[in-house]
Structure 1
Amino acid sequence: MVDLAFRARRAITAAGEVARSIGVSDGKIVAIEPYDADLDADRVIDLDDDVVLLPGLVDTHVHVNDPGRSEWEGFETATRAAAAGGITTLVDMPLNSIPPTVDVESLEVKRKTAEGKVHIDVGFWGGAVPGNLGDLRGLHDAGVFGFKCFLLHSGVDEFPPLGAQELEDALRAVRSFGAQMIVHAENSDAIEHAPAAQGAQYEKFLRSRPRGAENVAIAQVIELARWTGARVHILHLSSSDALPMIATARRDGVALTVETCPHYLCFTAEEIPEGATEFKCCPPIREAENRELLWQGLADGTIDCVVSDHSPCTPELKRLDIGDFGVAWGGIASLQLGLPAVWTEARKRGFALTDVVRWMAERPAAQVGMRRKGHIALGYDADFCVFAPDEGFVVDVGKLAHRNPVSAYHGRTLSGVVRNTWLRGAEISGEEPTGTLLRRGMC
């Protein structure tokens, strides 16, 4: 006897895309049987033939900005948007909230802010900044999933970057207790010597954040990881130039994982209109040729996963009134749209939904050590996304659930609609928050 059974002509499991009946009890997957199996269930849901049952997506790169900048976003709006996009678990970044999550006290402030407001499950990253080396172990023991650092100005003064020696010291520290460091890898010297970003031309902004700034920083991180033995993760890779050295480092045994984001896989520098500051992000969206090489990096496994880097702000901070890339806030608001955006481009290139699930559910969960998320498998949380892959829609920013109506995807036609999302065997309504706050090692 099970509480709930899904009968799906198409479901993504370890066997690939197959017809299955899936039984759920007490919020866990307890049975995976052939489609025609007679599961004794209190409730049976027969899914339409035009949908695919996916595991709930896991987004490990989200800026909720709460507390302190809740006018940019907040736990209630961010998690509602995530659920609408098929995401059932996210991990919140340690900045742009005030205070940033750089010690146990600030982590508790963030947890208290989030409590009772989350529609999905939410975990937290800690931050590594100058002067908090002694706080890292306490944050680790308090359940953060790892530590984020910058190698250049983060965009907010309260989260300063690490210098080379500080980064080495932090890597040795996290290595000593088995944690990981996630790195915004752009080199500050390279960017200081690049032309300044100003005006409405995207090309000028692109020159201000050259590929070389990423490449140099990633090379530095790789060598420090090699020396220290620490586990490192490269955030939001946008420079395809770095792929060969990443592949070489991994062949050498460096403990290195890499992510990219939907906007780097969907947009190209050539198509960004003048003054369209909603496309500004750091590192930047690059050229079409670069985009195709990122797709190749996903195909060959050099890039592990795709996560949103949802970094929203108020419309005023995007400076849409003047369209100046030099002064606009850098960040793409996309939490609700990652799955259809990636699927739209992936299917054009011959990828399957099993690939998308690997990039957006299985591997992000593995990267942060979540043992019950990201798969439709026995013993896993009954987190599901019911997805209609052949249904199209035009993005209307006014209908998205994140707080401020700004997104680079506005007006874009995408394939794939999330019909509904389930968290531990209960459909997410978007009205009553039912998510939980996660700690490393407990999920």
Structure 2
Amino acid sequence: MGSTEEKTNYLSDEGTPLKSSPVAKNVSHSFDCETGPVRSSPDVTRWWKTNNIRIRPLRSAYIVLVRAKINVLLPFGPLAILLHYLTGKHGWVFFFTLLGIAPLAERLGYATEQLAFYTGPTVGGLLNATFGNATEMIISIYALKSGMIRVVQQSLLGSILSNMLLVLGCAFFTGGIVHHKVQVFNKGSAVVNSGLLLMAVMGTTFPAVLHFTHTELHSGESALSLSRFSSCIMLIAYASYLFFQLKSQQDLYGPLDEVGEDEVEDDSEIYAWEAIGWLAILTVWVSILSGYLVDAIQGASESLNLPVAFISVILLPIVGNAAEHASAIMFAMKDKLDITLGVAIGSSTQISMFVIPFCVVVGWCMGEPMDLNFKLFETATLFITVLVVAFMLQEGTSNYFKGVMLILCYLIVAASFFVHIDPTNDND
């Protein structure tokens, strides 16, 4: 990330802090490369600020598009589009599109993090709820438009499983290995998230049981109506959770180690208007690549001889969770497990209580029968996963062995979906 001085220079080309002191408001300064800050006339200051406006986008582009090592994968996005029109080989198009979306997902998380420095915790939580899982939402909306409801359900389910088992497991493992001790996190926040995840399991279990026990009042319609009603309730519950955690009980359920205001300012590297601009640009580019990715799923399944369920549950979420995976491990290595839990479990909570119900409502508006009936196999997988993770979090501590168990559980889930094929009809 660089030193504090480097971060300050990114934000202030004049060598002065972002927040000017009362004395500095009435004094105009320019910057000389050899002597440092010097007094200047108003005309020189006005020219410098105009010139600064021209230079800032270039420096911001370097920070967002060049400096991060993962950006070496950015050219794979245009390459996938070329392969789509020139060769039509869906396997290669799918693979290169995955590689091209991975850095975009990470950069979306970075831009959201930078913007959250200026908006405060409440708005920052809303931003994380929307842009933190923007990749999954965009891919899901494109799949809904194509009528691929099972791909939407399985990819969102895979994101939850990946965050709870793989991401959290790797974070616990690396944190325990680096620090050689039992790490501690806020137990109250973990319990609240576990409760929301169990509520999401309840929302997906009832439509599945209602449908597969053939006890619907109106066959083929009751489960869909129940799903839409439950989705609205889950969205209300998630909004209440945001208010509860970020506004009402932020002292009780916040991180154990609070970050000071000055430290937050030093961590910000780009201005708020630059972060908003990059969020718009990155979202548009992810939307474009998502269309090609969804179109290539079926062809990739046939050419790679992989079940669509495995591609949707295992491969797609790995790309969407690239940012969460890296961030969770980094914070665990810094012994900041509260942030790690917020990244991994918080993201799972967002998907289960916000993204999935949101997709049901969007499908309702589109006229697509998107529901919470994830079929019995997927519902059982989600239920068992939430129980396992809830037991892991109940003590408020972590170690490398818990990480190993979560990773091994994810390998079992991956192997299960590798040999799982969706039934052709419900009677099967």
- Report if TM-score (shorter chain) is over 0.5: no
Structure with greater Cα Rg: 2
TM-score, normalized by length of structure 2? 0.24
Q: Which has the higher contact order (CA 8 A, sep 6+)?
A: 2
TM-score, normalized by length of structure 1? 0.23
Which structure features the higher share of strand residues? 1
